[in-house]
Chains A and B, each alone.
Chain A
Amino acid sequence: MSDQPIFKSGRPDEGWTAMYGLTDELVSYEDMISPEFFELEREAIFRPAWHYVGRVDRVPKPGMYFTKEIEVLKASILVARDDAQDVRVYHNVCPHRGNKLMWEADASKEVSGRCKTFHCKFHGIQYDTGGKVALLTEKEAWLGNQGKELALAEVPFEVWNGFIFVNLNPGGPKESLREFLGEKYYSGFDGYPFETCSERYFFRANAKANWKTMIDGFSETYHAATTHALPFATQPSENLLMGAEHFGIEGRQRMMIYQDWGEIINFDYEGLTRGFGTGPRIEFPKELKNLPLISNPTQIDNWGSVSHKIWPQMFLQHYNPGWYLTYMMWPLAYNEMRFEVEIFMPEPRNFSDALAQKASLFMFLDAALQDFSLLEATQMGLETRAFNQYPLTDQEILVRAFHKEVYQVVEDYKRERGAEIIGRS
Chain B
Amino acid sequence: MSERNGAVLPEQFSELNPFVARWNNRGMQNQYAARVSSTMDEMQEFYDAIKPHIPEIKQYLDSKDFAEYSEADRTLGSLVFAWVPVAESVEVFKQPKVPDSKMYWDIVDEPQCF
Contact = CB atoms under 8 A, between A and B. Distances in A.
Given A230-B93, A268-B87, A272-B55, A203 B81 contact: no
A263 to B, nearest CB: 15
Given A351-B58, A358-B28, A362-B32, A230 B99 contact: yes
A26 interface: no
Chain A interface mostly: helix
B101 A203 contact: no
A351 B73 CA distance: 10
B21 interface: no
A368 B106 CA distance: 13
Contacts of A23: none
B88 interface: yes
Most buried by B among A231, A268, A348, A369: A369
A420 B92 CA distance: 57
A123 to B, nearest CB: 31
B91 A369 contact: no
Interface in A209-251: 230-231
Contacts of B77: 351, 354-355
B94 to A, nearest CB: 9
Interface in B72-107: 77, 80-81, 83-85, 87-88, 91-93, 98-107
A136 to B, nearest CB: 35
Contacts of B107: 201-203
B101 A200 contact: no
B111 to A, nearest CB: 4
A267 interface: yes
Given A202-B109, A203-B107, A355 B81 contact: yes
B101 A369 contact: yes
Contacts of B81: 355, 358
Interface string A308-352: 000000000000000000000000000000000100000010111
Contact of B28 (A269, A361, A369): A361
Interface residue range, chain B: 35 or more
Contacts, number: 105
Nearest to A351: B61
Nearest to A347: B111
Find the residue from A203, A269, A350, A369 having the highest chain B CB count within 10 A. Answer: A269
Contacts of B92: 230-231, 267, 366
B101 A358 contact: no
A45 B22 CA distance: 49
Contacts of B91: 267-269
A348 B62 CA distance: 11
B16 to A, nearest CB: 15
A362 B88 contact: yes
Nearest to A265: B92
B111 A373 contact: no
Interface in B32-73: 32, 51, 54-55, 57-58, 61-62, 66
A310 B17 CA distance: 49
B69 to A, nearest CB: 9
A231 B54 CA distance: 22
B15 interface: no
Contact of A351 (B32, B51, B62, B100): B62
Contacts of A200: 109, 111
Nearest to B73: A351
A216 B114 CA distance: 38
Contacts of A363: 88
Contacts of A201: 107, 109-111
A203 B113 contact: no
Nearest to B62: A350
A268 B91 CA distance: 8
A359 interface: yes
A235 to B, nearest CB: 16
Contacts of B1: none
Interface of B: 28, 31-32, 51, 54-55, 57-58, 61-62, 66, 77, 80-81, 83-85, 87-88, 91-93, 98-111, 113-114
Given A201-B107, A267-B87, 11 more contacts: A201-B109, A202-B107, A230-B93, A268-B51, A352-B58, A354-B113, A358-B81, A359-B84, A362-B28, A365-B28, A369-B104
A-B residue pairs, 10 tightest by C-beta? A269-B87, A351-B61, A202-B109, A373-B101, A354-B113, A203-B105, A202-B108, A350-B62, A199-B111, A204-B106
24 contacts: A200-B109, A202-B107, A202-B108, A205-B104, A230-B93, A267-B91, A269-B51, A269-B87, A272-B51, A273-B54, A341-B105, A350-B62, A351-B77, A354-B113, A355-B81, A361-B28, A365-B28, A366-B85, A369-B98, A369-B103, A370-B98, A370-B100, A370-B101, A373-B100
